[in-house]
Structure 1
Amino acid sequence: MTLLDARARTSAVARINPVAKLGAAMLITVPLVLTLDVVSATVALVLELMLAPFAGLGWREFWARTWLLWVLAPLTGLTIALYGRTAGEVYFEWFAITVSDGSLYLALATTLRVLAIALPSVVLFASVDPTDLADGLAQILKLPSRFVLGALAGLRMVGLFIDDWRSLELARRARGVADRGRLRRFFGMAFALLVLSIRRGAKLATAMEARGFGSDIPRTWARTSTFGGREWALMAVGLAIAVIAVTAAIATGAWNFILGPE
C-alpha cells in the first residue's frame, strides 16, 4: 500500500459503504449523460472540485490520482472539435476536418462532461477496498454471490499478474533472450503470461469450489455490510450536485437533451 492509499483509506469517506459511493457517482453521472451542454458540466465540475478536499485527499494526492484524466479529457474534446457537427462560422476546413462554432462548443461541452463524470468516481473510489465493495454488492444490493466473489477473486489477481510480468521479464533477461526483438519479446511474454493465468485461474476455481463457493446454499458473510446515515448523506450530496447542475442548465436555456429531436 502506498502513502496515498494509506491516507485515503484512513479518511472519514473511507468508512462510508462503497455501495453509497457507487450510488452517488451514478446520481451525478446519469443527468450529465442525458445532456451535452457547457453549463451543467461546468456547474457539476465546480461543485465537485469544491467538495474534493472532504474526500480525504490532499491536493497533491488529488492531482496524482487524476492527472491522466486531465490529459485525456481535452484529447476527447479535440476530436470533437475537428470532426464534430458543423454549425455557425467555419474557422478551418481541410478534407474531413472542419472547425466551426458548433464543433468548438461541442468539444468544450464534451471535455467538461468527461471531467465532471469521471472525477467523482476516481476520488470516491480512491478509498474503496475491493472486499468491502463485494460485501456491499452481495449484502445490500443482493447481487448473486457467485458473480460477486468471482469478480473479487479476479480483481485480486491483477496485482499478481503485474508481479508475474516483472518476473518473466527478469527471467528472460537472465537467460539473455531479452536484449533484442522488443516486439517479439512482448508477444512471447504475453503468451507465457496467458498460459500462467489460465493455470492459476483453474487452480483458483478448484480451490474456491472445494471451499463451497459454488454451493447453492445461502452463504454467510464474515463482515456485515451496513447502510446508514453517512451513506444516505453522501447520496444526498450526489443528488444535490445533479439537481443544481440540471437546474442551472435549464434556467439558462443551455439544456441539450441528447435523446430529443434534432
Structure 2
Amino acid sequence: MIFTSLPPARSPLATLNPLVGLVVVGIVAVVTIVSFDPWAVLIILIAELPLLALARIGGRGWLLRVWPLAAGLAGIMIANLIFTDDHPGRSLLSIGPLVITTGSLGAAGIVALRLLVLAIPGIVLFARLDPTALADALIIHWHAGPRIAVGSLAAMRMAPLVVGDLRQSYAARRTRGLISRNPLAAAPVIFGSLTTVLVTTVRRATRLSVAMDSRGFDSGLPRTLARESAWRRRDTLVIIFYALAGLAAIALTVLSQLT
C-alpha cells in the first residue's frame, strides 16, 4: 500500500516526467548511503519538504502509506536500542540488560531518520505515477528494450492482483474456520495462503510471458509507440535541484570527517 498509485488528480508532481521520480530516488539513495553526518541527512530532508507540500495526497492516502512506515521505523529504533553495545551519554533507562542512554537514543533516531529520508521520495513521487507513462518514458528517453519496459509495466499492474489474491485466500480459509485467533495456530495456515498466492503469481507471470513473446516483444524489430513522453525544462530543474542538494550533503560529510 505504500508505493501504490492514487487515482489521477491535479498535482504539480503529476506533470513531471515519470523518470524524474526514478532519478530523484536514486540521488537520495546514494546520498543516504554515502553520507553519515546527521546534518547531511537533514539537508536532504529539507529538500524533500516541497515534495510533501506539492503531492496533494489526502488524509486517507497518507494514513495508508504512513502507518507501515511508522511501524517499521519504530521497530528499527527499538531493535537498535536493545541490541546496541555502545551506550554513551547520560543514562535514561536501565532495566536489567536494557540500557538506554542519550547517545544510543540519538543513534537509533539517526538510523530511523535516514530510512525516513530514503522512503519519502518513493512514497510521494510514486503516488501519482502512471505505470504506462513510465514504460513509454523508459523506451523513449532511456532507450530501454520494449521487453524490459513493458515487463516492468506488467509487474506493476500485477502487484494489486497479488494483494487481492492474498485477501481472497485469507477470507476463504477464515470462512472455512481454518484460521484461529491464536497467532501460533494460525501461522501454518497463513503460510499456506502465501504458498497458494505464490503459485498463482508464478502461473500468471508464465501466461504473461508467453503472451508477450507471441506479440513479438523479443523479436528485436523496432516497435512504434502510440503515446509521446515529453521531457520539459521543469524536469531538468528538479533533477538539478536534488543533485545540488545531494552534492551539498556529501560535501558536508567530507568536511566533517576532515575536521
User: What band does the TM-score fall into relative to the shorter chain?
Assistant: 0.7 to 0.9
Query: How does the TM-score come out when normalised to structure 2?
Result: 0.78
Q: Contact (CA 8 Å) 2:136, 2:227: kept in 1 or not? A: yes
Closer/same/farther in 2, CA of residues 59 and 192 from structure 1, 3 Å limit: closer
Q: Contact (CA 8 Å) 2:170, 2:193: kept in 1 or not? A: yes
Identity of aligned residues (%): 28
Q: Contact (CA 8 Å) 1:83, 1:98: kept in 2 or not? A: no
Stretch deviating more after TM superposition (56-65 or 213-222): 56-65
Question: How far apart, CA to CA, are the structure 2 residues paired with 1:51 and 1:194?
Answer: 35
Equivalent residue number for residue 193 of structure 1: 197
Question: How far apart, CA to CA, are the structure 2 residues paired with 1:208 and 1:161?
Answer: 20
Partner SS for 2:135: helix
Pairwise CA RMSD = 3.3
Equivalent residue number for residue 215 of structure 2: 211
How far has the Cα of 1:19 moved from its partner? 0.6
Question: How far apart, CA to CA, are the structure 1 residues paired with 2:120 and 2:71?
Answer: 13
The one-character-per-residue Cα deviations of 1:223-242 (angstroms, maximum 9, x if unpaired) are 22222212112212322433
Structure 1: which 5+ runs fail to align? 258-262
Give the counterpart letter for 1:18 in structure 2.
Answer: P
Equivalent residue number for residue 108 of structure 1: 109
How far has the Cα of 1:159 moved from its partner? 1.9
Residue pairs, 1:230-249, within 5 angstroms: 230-246=234-250
Question: How far apart, CA to CA, are the structure 1 residues paired with 2:171 and 2:89?
Answer: 57
Residue pairs, 1:90-101, within 5 angstroms: 91=91, 99-100=100-101
How far has the Cα of 1:97 moved from its partner? 5.8
Q: Contact (CA 8 Å) 2:47, 2:242: kept in 1 or not? A: no
Residue pairs, 1:99-248, within 5 angstroms: 99-100=100-101, 102-172=103-173, 176=176, 178=178, 182-246=186-250
Question: How far apart, CA to CA, are the structure 2 residues paired with 1:35 and 1:11?
Answer: 31
Question: How far apart, CA to CA, are the structure 1 residues paired with 2:106 and 2:173?
Answer: 51
Question: How far apart, CA to CA, are the structure 2 residues paired with 1:21 and 1:55?
Answer: 12
Query: How does the TM-score come out when normalised to structure 1?
Result: 0.77
Partner SS for 1:5: coil
Q: Contact (CA 8 Å) 2:73, 2:112: kept in 1 or not? A: yes
Stretch deviating more after TM superposition (41-50 or 14-23): 41-50
Equivalent residue number for residue 52 of structure 1: 52
Q: Contact (CA 8 Å) 2:88, 2:104: kept in 1 or not? A: no
Give the counterpart letter for 1:28 in structure 2.
Answer: V
Question: How far apart, CA to CA, are the structure 1 residues paired with 2:229 and 2:242?
Answer: 21
Equivalent residue number for residue 10 of structure 2: 10
Equivalent residue number for residue 260 of structure 1: none
Give the counterpart letter for 1:216 in structure 2.
Answer: G
Question: How far apart, CA to CA, are the structure 1 residues paired with 2:17 and 2:110?
Answer: 32
Structure 2: which 5+ runs fail to align? none
Partner SS for 2:127: helix
Partner SS for 2:190: helix
Residue pairs, 1:53-68, within 5 angstroms: 53-57=53-57, 61-68=61-68
Residue pairs, 1:68-107, within 5 angstroms: 68-84=68-84, 86=86, 88-89=88-89, 91=91, 99-100=100-101, 102-107=103-108
How far has the Cα of 1:243 moved from its partner? 4.2
Closer/same/farther in 2, CA of residues 132 and 77 from structure 1, 3 Å limit: same
Matched residue count: 249
Question: How far apart, CA to CA, are the structure 2 residues paired with 1:84 and 1:165?
Answer: 36
Partner SS for 2:151: helix
Partner SS for 2:178: coil
Closer/same/farther in 2, CA of residues 41 and 70 from structure 1, 3 Å limit: farther
Stretch deviating more after TM superposition (35-44 or 226-235): 35-44
